[in-house]
Amino acid sequence: MSLHIGDIAPDFTVGTQNGEISLHEWAGDSWVFFFSHPADFTPVCTTEMGRTAQLASEFDKRNVKPLGLSTDTAEEHAKWIEDVNETQNTNLVFPIVADADLKIAKLYDMIHPDQSETAAVRSVFIIDPDKKIRLTMTYPMSVGRNFDEILRAIDALQFSDKHGVATPADWREGKEAIIPPSVSDEDAKSRFPQGFTTLRPYLRTVKID
């Protein structure tokens, strides 16, 4: 199944090491960082799970709930988490989907045959409170994710939603944003009374505090 930005994230009910969850109900009014892993007790996955746990306060202040997935059982997840906590010096508490039958991995197109027929690649789905998929990323099994970029992308999505703007390359909070071309100069003057800079008719930047 091919999922696109703007699609409603498919709902599912599944076991985790914390008990059964239904995605939409569990997410509630929060954003979701849904990310898959090839397998428990593997080196890159251990560092990624640990990094997610270390960033718990960063996700929390953005109203984001992390949700992992690995193609192993809930019992194996629980044992693996002991290793994650010990080797990464953290305390992992977010749920990890138990997907030993690959049902959820296939639903979200996380199985890429050139990488593996039985293990998920490193997929990322950022899902908003309306349960819409807002961003996707896919990494091969050999490359760990950049969590600075994941947080930056979430910040950009939330900032754009709040202010009705776009964000330029390498945008971070405090930097100028872009006024979308669909907004006329007249509307821009009303929406951004602080003023904006016109570099080209299609490229207008604005500082939003």
- Evaluate whether residue 122 is within a structural domain: yes
CATH of the domain at 56: 3.40.30.10
Same domain, 74 and 174: no
Residues 126 and 145 in one domain: yes
Active site residue 155: no
82: β partners: none
Query: Look-up: residue for tokens 């959820």?
Result: 104
Residue 87 lies in a domain: yes
Q: Which domain holds residue 35?
A: 7-160
Residues 97 and 191 in one domain: no
Catalytic residue (one of 14, 27, 32, 45): 45
Residue 137 and residue 51 in one domain:
yes
116 within some domain? yes
Same domain for 86 and 178, yes or no, is no
81 in any annotated domain: yes
Read off the CATH number of the domain in which 180 is found. 3.30.1020.10
Please tell me whether residues 130 and 180 are part of one structural domain: no
Q: What's the chain's Rg over C-alpha atoms? A: 19
Does one domain contain both 81 and 112?
Answer: yes
Q: In this structure, are 129 and 195 located in the same domain?
A: no
Cα angle vertex 68, ends 155, 59, to 5°? 30
Task: Give the global pTM.
Answer: 0.94
Mode of pairing for the β-strands spanning 64-70 and 96-98: parallel
Same-domain pairing of 51 and 148 = yes
pLDDT tens, position by position, 175-202 = 999 999 999 999 999 999 999 999 999 9
2, part of any domain: no
Q: Tens place of pLDDT for every residue, the chain, 209 residues? A: 589 999 999 999 999 999 999 999 999 999 999 999 888 999 999 999 999 999 999 999 999 999 999 989 999 999 999 999 999 999 999 999 999 999 999 999 887 766 665 566 689 999 999 999 999 999 988 899 999 999 999 999 999 999 999 999 999 999 999 999 999 999 999 999 999 999 999 999 999 98
